[in-house]
Amino acid sequence: MSEFILLQNLIYPSNELSLTMISLEEWSIVYTFGPDVKQYLQNQLTVDINKLPNNHHTICAHCNFNGKVWSTMRLFHYRDGYAYIQRKNISFLQIKEIKKYSIFSKIKFSILENMVLLGLSGLNVRSFLLKFFFEIPNKNCPVVHKNNITLLWYSKPSERFLLILSISDFEKFKNKINQKIFFNHSKQWLSLEIEAGFPIIDEICANKFTPQMINLDYLQAMSFDKGCYYGQEIISRIFFKNLNKYRLFFLISMEKITPKIGSIIETKINGKWFKIGFLLSIVNIKYEETYIQVILHKSIGIDNIFRIHGFKNIFFKKH
């Protein structure tokens, strides 16, 4: 019989994580299909859809005409079309924007409310999954579809998996577990995404940053030779003329705080505090640590001390 240990208010760093099942209630899965789906996404997203193998997933972004990111997502082949996973609070707005020019295209978008997104990470996670699935994804085959269940493999910050399954399949899977396993909410997955360097774009930060500012060029989540897509002209000019002045960073503090997303990040230069960037995401780790994902001016040195505007005595260092 399974023994679930709830960790509702305690988030662990990846190197201390025991075998943990994670509810991804802060993420959603969007399914898109139709005869024109491939070409339509090719004209909308930052990656070359034609180069995405059937058994791989990729990070990418949906941008506006000015090259600013609406949403970051993880895209893969799904059923008769494609699916992508993104932050739930941006999904309604993002779908509204991506559908704007679909009136003459045979394509549909829908949030799959009836599917469960489940993360699995921590000690011996691969051995655990092999008890339930004959084939699980790996580096060479990061996406596996089997019996209406989809598994995605992530390599960073340590090996972990994302399962997409129906509510009934989730109940069956849960009832088969006969060992001790921790159960946690979305903030645990968020902390792993921050450690992995995946840029978190919530609704409050949508339409504000170019892909280069959130490291999508480093993450191979942009194509510069596939042809036109929304924002491509501006994005390419920034890239080829080296105009980008900001980068995504991961900062840590030994204090526990809860500032608002979008807050100003400051750094101390010659005894004075200056505005240097913006807060994208935050999660409190264990008892008193705080992880934050921020956009900073790329000239900032590794030894700089940072703080969030309004929290004068709480300081952060680069990870």
pLDDT tens by residue, 71-108: 999 999 999 999 999 999 999 999 999 999 888 899 99
**What's the pLDDT score for residue 1?**
47
- Number of domains forming the structure of the chain: 2
Calculate mean pLDDT across residues 270-285.
94
**What's the pLDDT score for residue 3?**
64
Calculate mean pLDDT across residues 191-212.
97
β partners of residue 5: 182
Q: Average pLDDT over the chain, rounded to whole?
A: 94
- Domain CATH code at residue 140: 3.30.1360.120
Separation in Å, CA 181 to CA 125, 186, 214:
10, 16, 34
27 is in an annotated binding site: yes
**What's the pLDDT score for residue 4?**
64
Residues 174 and 254 in one domain: no
How far apart CA 138 and CA 159 sit, in angstroms, is 9
Residues 9 and 130 in one domain: yes
Q: Considering 155, 180, 196, which residue would you say is the last residue of a domain?
A: 196
Name the percent of the chain lying above pLDDT 70: 98
Would the pLDDT of 24 be above 80?
yes
Instruction: Report pTM.
Output: 0.95
| Residue-number span of the structural domain to which 288 is assigned | 245-319
- Tell whether 234 is covered by a domain: no
How far apart CA 232 and CA 218 sit, in angstroms, is 17
Residues 19 and 89 in one domain: yes
**What's the pLDDT score for residue 285?**
94
- Candidates 277, 286, 297, 291; CA nearest to 319 is 291
pLDDT tens by residue, 202-254: 999 999 999 999 999 999 999 998 888 989 999 999 999 999 999 999 999 99
Query: Tokens 């960037």 correspond to what residue?
Result: 277
- Tell whether 164 is covered by a domain: yes
189 is in an annotated binding site: yes
Which three-class secondary structure state does DSSP give residue 25?
Answer: coil
